Every structure is written in C-alpha cells, then in structure tokens.
Chains A and B, each alone.
Chain A
Amino acid sequence: MKKVTLLAAACCFFMATAVQAETLKILTWKGYAPRVLIEKFEKDTGIKVEATFSNNEEMIAKLRATRGAGFDLAQPSQDRISSVQEKFKIYQAVDYSRIDTKLFIPSMLDAVKSNTKVGDNSYAVPFCWGTSGLIVNSDKAAKADDWNALMDPEFKGRISYRLKRPTLIAVGFALGYDPFALYSDAVGYKEMLDKVAEALINTKPLVKNYWANGDGLLESMRSSEVFVAMAWDSGGWKLHDENKAIDFKAPKKGALGWIDTFAIPSKAKNVDAAYKWINFIMAPENAAYFTTQEKVPTASQGANAFVSAEVRANFERSFPQETIDNIKWYPPVPAKLEVMEGKILDKIKAAK
C-alpha cells in the first residue's frame, strides 16, 4: 500500500511539471486511442495526445484520488457515471453545443444522455459499444450456448471468467433472475447475489482461472487451455480470425450490452482539446478505422460504410436481428450495489 501512495504522489509531481506544450490527457481503455489516429490528430491540431490505459473501476478510483484532476478526457461505461458523479463529483457537465451531434447515432446519444443525467445536466456522450457473452471453442465445447456453460461440469477445468460484477449479473440471468429489474430492490438483489455466490462457489473446481487480463485470456483460448469463457465480443472475433473453431456466441438469455463514453473530468485543463478529440474520433472514417482495428462498433453515424468487410461479417454472424433485440443493456448502477457486490466477490474468491 505504501507503494501505491508513493506512486500516486510521484504521479502528481510529474503532472504538475508537465504542462508546457498543449497536450490532451486521455484516461481510456486499451485500444481506444489507436496510434494512427493519435498521429493524425497531432498533425491536424498540433495537440499532443497522452493516453493512459485503465478499466472502469481504476478510472473512477484515479479521478476520485485527484478529485477530477490529471486528465482531460475519460472513457467510463455509461452505467458507471451517474451514481459516481452524484457522490464524488469527478466530471463536468457536457456542453452538447460543442459536440457535432450529426456524427452520432441519435438513439444512442439520447440513451447515454438520459442514463448519465444528474440534476439538470448530462455527463457523457457515447463512443463505442459491445457486449459480453461467451467465447466458445466449438471443436471442444459445441453445445455451450448459454451462461449455464460457465458452470457446466462437462467443461471441467476449461472454463474461465473475470471475477467482476458482469459475471455476477450473467450468472444471475443463468439462474433465472433479472438482475437489472432488481437494481432498485436492494433486498431482492442481495438475495440474488447470495444465490449467485453459492452457485459460483459450488462450481469453483470447474474453473481454470479467473482471468484478469484480456490478452492472457486470448492466449489461453488459443492454446486450448480454455474452451468456454465469458468475455467481450471483440476478443472472440479476434480469435475467430486465427482459428475458425473459436468464436463469440451471444448467450441465449441475452448478451450483456455496454456503451463506453466520453466524459470530461471536473478539473480537466484542456477542455477544448477534449471536445476536439471527441469530434475528431467520431468522424465516420476515423471511427471506422477504430472499429476495423479493434472490432468494436462505435456510435458514429455512417461509419459502417468505411468498416472492413470482415469486421462487418463478424458482426452479422454473431448478431442476427433477434439476438440484437435480446441484448440486455446495463442500466445505471445504483451506488449501494457496488459495496454488496464487492463483498460477494471477496467471498467467492476466498472460498475453497
């Protein structure tokens, strides 16, 4: 822990000294700021881009530690914004007049606006979206087609998932609950979590490992150490390019849909550059480059025309219309649930 505080303090030091040239500091996910696009942006605007890779939880923790300073743009998922904003006030309201709304798919922009509303303001615009579902090696586990496969004794030692909240939700669905409907009912949600914990603890011997690193999971799937995993669709499509037997499968009960956003930290130094970056990356050809590269669809209107045919084929293969209609989109997470979930996750990890 001492190390962490030291590191944080050291970071503050460096941040304080590095303000000469105009820079844009983005706190984002790995792959969300491709180098080619960064170079193009630097050439167009003369603004230097520094990207820091992270995940939802760490993004929130980082911004909370500095009370919203240190970065000009963050990319949390849309369901993790409103409760965090209410409590810690780490973002500033988005000025939608500075965003080129023509670049966005209107329904998505509206959904994110309403989901990130706190008081009279909204705090995010959509960037990209995707789903969590199953990545299955159909040579070895052809019949895995729903969340239950994660607890199926037939795949003993060949199962992998993250020990994070999406897994709890997925198993909730597998057990016949509707976790999203229970969001507003803390007691009911707790009951569901207890059942989920019981199921996951009972089936713990079946699990190979709890993956924590996306590349690590892909490696285990590639080497056939794992047959069934809960993971993001883009990972499945990456593997499908190399080995046709491995592919992303949307579970029958419905894949879990997320939207990652742009949100501006409350003490951002270079807000202008942040808006410039949003409008830049959402331009159809740039968004399409990102989609082709990372296999993650964006909220950019008209980008589809520029996306490579293979990536579109992936999407059409895994997502026929009825599967899309069946996607379960994450609603905003109420604040109290995270503490409950944290305890349950600890309990599962500590169990033998």
Chain B
Amino acid sequence: MMGNGFRITFWLFLSPVLLWLFLLIVIPHIDLLLLSFRGESDMGDPIWTLQNYKNFFIEPIYWYTFLRTALYAMITTFCTFILALPVSFYIVKLARPRTRGFLTVLLLLPFWVSELVRVYGWMILLRESGVFNYFMLKMGIIDQPIEMLYNDITMIMGLVYTSMLFMVVPLISVMESLDDSLIEAAHDLEASRFDILRTIIIPHCKPGITSGSIVVFMLALGNYLTPNLMGGKNSLWFTEQIYNQFIASFNWNQGAAFGFLLLVLSSVIIWVGLKVTRQNLGEVAS
C-alpha cells in the first residue's frame, strides 16, 4: 500500500516536469528536425532532402561563421576561467565567513537585471560619446574620443561579464572541499605558488572547472544579444545566422538545419574536450 501511494505522488509531482519537457521542448524540436530535412525541388514542390545540411559545408560563410563562433566561445570560456579562479579562491579561502555571503550576493547582483539592460549599460559606458570617453577627455588622458564599441575585444569582454557567475559558482562549491592543510604543507615544503596552483588547486577543482566551462561555453555559443549589440559590424555570430535564415530569408528549413548543426557540433566539441582532459560527464555531474 505504502509503495503504491508513493508511486502516485511520485508521478503526480513529476508530471509537470515531464509535460514541460515534452510539450515545450521535445515536440517543437521534433518539428524543427523534420523541417530541417524539408526543401524545395527545382519545380518549387516540397521534398525531403539533405540539401540544408549540405549548404552548411559547401558555403564557406556558414562554416567559417561557426568556427569563428566556436573559437570565440572557447576564448571566452578561458578568460572567464582565468578571472573566476582567483575570485572564487578569495571568496572561499581568504574572505571572512561573514563577508563571504556578501561577496557572493555581490556577484549575483548584476543578474537581477536582464541581459539586454546590462549590455546597454556597457554601451553607454563605452560608446564614443560615452561615460569613459567623457572622463578620459576631461582628465586629459586622450584628446580625441575613442570608439571602444564594435570590436571583438569588447564583445569578448561582454561575454565574459555575462558568464562570470556560471564559472564562479561551481568553482566555489568544489573549493569548499579543498583541505587548507594541503596548501599549508606544500608551503612548508617550499613549493612555489605556481606549483601549488598547478598540482593542488587545479586538480582538486577539476570537476568544477569542467562543469563551469561547459556552461559558459554553451552560453557564449548560444548568445545572441551580446555579440550582436557590442560586436557590431564584424560580429556575425552563428545564432544570428539562424535568426537571419528564419526571419530575413524566410528559409525555416535552412534555419532549422543550422539549429541542429549548432546542437550537434557544440556537443561534439564538449565531448572532445572531455576526452582530451580524460574526464567523463558522470564525474563532472556528481
């Protein structure tokens, strides 16, 4: 009897999640998958075809854009990691317990505002007639305003900013289990700071680094707003390519194919990344 009642409640509580997954994610994706294999024959009749996928490999703009997007997403992930490691180390090991909570909230704070507003905030700061230029002119550091927007560096900075938190949080959680005495012992044995970082901290944080990297990489790869608004005229991001196919060219079939290519190729990149660093997804998730 007990078991039966438990089972009913189990399904009752699980059903919203399943409905959500199935109705809003699985079904639309199946529809998109079907769309991506549809096309038109020369006579304009609808047919099944692989042409949409072929286009990606034949047309250099498309795979070039994907490579560029993937490369920039990796750079973003790396920069985020470099910035997040000392931040999380400080929060976990150096800050006093009371300030620790405060610092974490401080990191969270920007995420109470939508991404769009944050990006516009950056644009107000960085534009040619913007805040930074105004003060630098006033202080005589420069005598001509500089355009700081619309280049790749600004774009990557924006991406790093939007994804910082998703690296810091997993790093904090793994660092909490790092025993301080290991670091102290290494110090006593006259290990250099770099050696401590390389042989103690990073190996210990590996699962956190991996899960953080996966999240940041996927977020950067799938971002649309930041590259579009901050990157400006040179920033063709792969998501924009998908948007253009759907909206500007009315070519939903091609857009759907790009969507699935993004899904598959990014999964492959992550799989390769895990293989190269000799990890598996199960370890990372636990």
The residues of A with any CB-CB pair to B shorter than 8 Å are 1-2, 5-6, 8-10, 57-58, 60-61, 64, 84, 157, 163-164, 204, 207-210, 212, 223-225, 338-339, 341-343, 345-347, 349-350, 352
- Chain B contacts for A60, CB-based, 8 A: 250
- Chain B contacts for A9, CB-based, 8 A: 23-24, 28
Write the chain A residue with the least CB distance to B145.
A225
- Chain A contacts for B129, CB-based, 8 A: 223-225
Count of chain A to chain B residue pairs whose CB atoms are closer than 8 Å in the complex: 85
Most buried by A among B150, B249, B251, B262: B249
- Chain A contacts for B222, CB-based, 8 A: 1-2
Closest 8 CB pairs of A and B: A342-B249, A223-B129, A5-B28, A350-B236, A349-B236, A1-B259, A57-B247, A209-B232
Which stretch (B94-102, B165-173, B181-189, B237-245) binds chain A? B237-245
Instruction: Report whether over half of chain B's contact residues are helix, strand or loop; otherwise say mixed.
Output: helix
Scan residues 96-149 of chain B and give those whose CB is less than 8 A from a CB of chain A: 127-129, 147, 149
CB distance from B272 to the nearest CB of A (A): 22
Q: How large is the interface on B (under 10, 10 to 19, 20 to 34, 35 or more residues)?
A: 35 or more
The residues of B with any CB-CB pair to A shorter than 8 Å are 23-25, 28-29, 32, 59, 61-62, 64-65, 127-129, 147, 149-150, 222, 228, 232-234, 236, 239-242, 244-252, 259, 262
CB distance from A7 to the nearest CB of B (A): 10
- Chain A contacts for B28, CB-based, 8 A: 5, 8-9
A60 to B252, CA, bound (A): 12
Instruction: Report whether over half of chain A's contact residues are helix, strand or loop; otherwise say mixed.
Output: helix
Q: Are B249 and A339 in contact (CB under 8 A)?
A: yes
A58 to B65, CA, bound (A): 23
- Chain B contacts for A350, CB-based, 8 A: 61, 64-65, 236
A6 to B32, CA, bound (A): 13
Write the chain B residue with the least CB distance to A57.
B247
Q: Are A61 and B247 in contact (CB under 8 A)?
A: yes
Given contacts A338-B250, A339-B249, 4 further A-B contacts (CB under 8 A): A8-B28, A60-B250, A210-B232, A342-B244
Known: A64-B250, A209-B233. A2 touches B245 (CB 8 A): no
Choose among B61, B127, B239, B249 the residue that contacts A225 (Cβ–Cβ < 8 A): B127
A58 to B222, CA, bound (A): 20
- Chain A contacts for B25, CB-based, 8 A: 2, 5-6
- Chain A contacts for B252, CB-based, 8 A: 64
- Chain B contacts for A5, CB-based, 8 A: 24-25, 28-29, 32
- Chain A contacts for B236, CB-based, 8 A: 346, 349-350
Write the chain B residue with the least CB distance to A163.
B233
Write the chain A residue with the least CB distance to B149.
A209
